[in-house]
Amino acid sequence: MKFAHIADCHLGSWGSHPELRDLPLKAFEQAVNACITEKVGFVLIAGDLFDTSMPGVDVLRFAAEQLRKCRDNGIAVYIIAGSHDYSPTGKTMISVMESAGLVVNVNQKLINHNGAKIFGIEGLKGGLDKNSFNDLKIPELGSGLKIFAFHSAVTEHCPISLMDSIPLSVLPKGFDYYATGHLHEHINENIGKAKLVFPGPLFQANFDELEKHEKTGFYIVSYETASANNGFLTMKRIELDVCKSFVIKIDGNGKSPVQIEEEILSMIENNDIKNKIVLIKCKGILESGKPSDINFNLISERCKNSGCFAVKKSVNLTTEEIDLKTQEKSVKEIESDLMKQAVANQEDKKDMIPALMDLLNQEKTENEKNLIYEERIKSAVIKMMGL
């Protein structure tokens, strides 16, 4: 018997980049098609099906279509909400999908799928996970493959130190397969006789990921019905082929804008960028001139002429030494430093800032009236801050 473990689909991501907007959807469609071809019994989505708690109508319709395709092919879809598709006030579109009979939310619920047991806990914004793990009430599991679904980084297997994570010790014991997400890395580890698996995102969710991960995908797990432990599980990685990236990284130190421009143009000329996303990253202190002296319009035009899919640039060039200090840190690191300073003596508020920032970052949805949008955000803030 087989099941698919998917996480971090982020449907609706890249919303402000029209050229890339369809790619996460394409990835999800490929994944669903692969599940049908592989004849899996069920799919488990370990959080972040959607990129926001209020995805647009087109994204919702697309998700519903794909989930229905699963249902029509006799594939059950079990799911937990992740940190992205769960709003701070507890609303998620997953509940809409569930009401339509397209998914079954396994948050704090034990599901028996032809003998396989699935129990999950949803991911929440603001790192509330640790406490919720302690309060889990898991019913008697009995025999069969036992899967625990959650959505959090795990300290012992977290390559990113800035990320909030939970230690292995808080995970409930007695499961064969710990299906998780959140950490956008692809990790498949043994913990004792069990497995701890992060499939990674279905499609890269930001520029760093486009640069870092050449491939994305998910797992298909084969298991024996009767008694499953690690020895009975066979893992098959399914890699998706959505759109490749080509990264042009330029060290601008001591160079002139003309030199940089020539370097980029020659990279474009001498490489195959057809149907790829071209990422141009420039960093350093210019020897002369300004970053705006680089003719990016010409560069874009050359890329398009070579048949690339899209061009994206991140330019961190400066002419002054003084800027170098801040350039060395990523936006995330600076953000995290500032947050730490702001709540230095208030441990309890530590998680609130990122959650609040996320909340205030939410955009108006299609056709949403200003007044309703304001009210929605206001009441969410009041609820979150306990006012």
Residues forming the site for Mn ion (CB under 5 A): 8, 48
Q: What minimum distance in Å lies between the beta carbon of 10 and Mn ion?
A: 6
Q: What minimum distance in Å lies between the beta carbon of 185 and Mn ion?
A: 11
Please give the C-alpha separations between residue 378 and each of 9, 78, 108, 349, 350, in angstroms, as whole numbers.
28, 32, 29, 19, 21
Nearer to Mn ion, 199 or 257 (CB): 199
Q: What minimum distance in Å lies between the beta carbon of 200 and Mn ion?
A: 10
221 token code pair: 């797990």
Nearer to Mn ion, 208 or 263 (CB): 208
372 C-beta neighbours (distance < 10 Å), count: 12
The per-residue b/e assignment along 60-77, b for 16 or more CB within 10 angstroms, e otherwise, is bebbbebbbbbeeeebbb
Q: What minimum distance in Å lies between the beta carbon of 358 and Mn ion?
A: 12
Q: What minimum distance in Å lies between the beta carbon of 84 and Mn ion?
A: 6
Q: What minimum distance in Å lies between the beta carbon of 76 and Mn ion?
A: 23
**What is the rounded CA–CA span in Å between residue 248 and residue 86?**
36
Nearer to Mn ion, 202 or 356 (CB): 202
Q: What minimum distance in Å lies between the beta carbon of 101 and Mn ion?
A: 25
Nearer to Mn ion, 181 or 252 (CB): 181
Q: What minimum distance in Å lies between the beta carbon of 302 and Mn ion?
A: 34
Nearer to Mn ion, 28 or 309 (CB): 28
Q: What minimum distance in Å lies between the beta carbon of 151 and Mn ion?
A: 8
Residue for token pair 């898991």: 138
**What is the rounded CA–CA span in Å between residue 239 and residue 219?**
9
CB contact at 8 A, 220 and 253: no
383 token code pair: 């609820």
Nearer to Mn ion, 48 or 185 (CB): 48
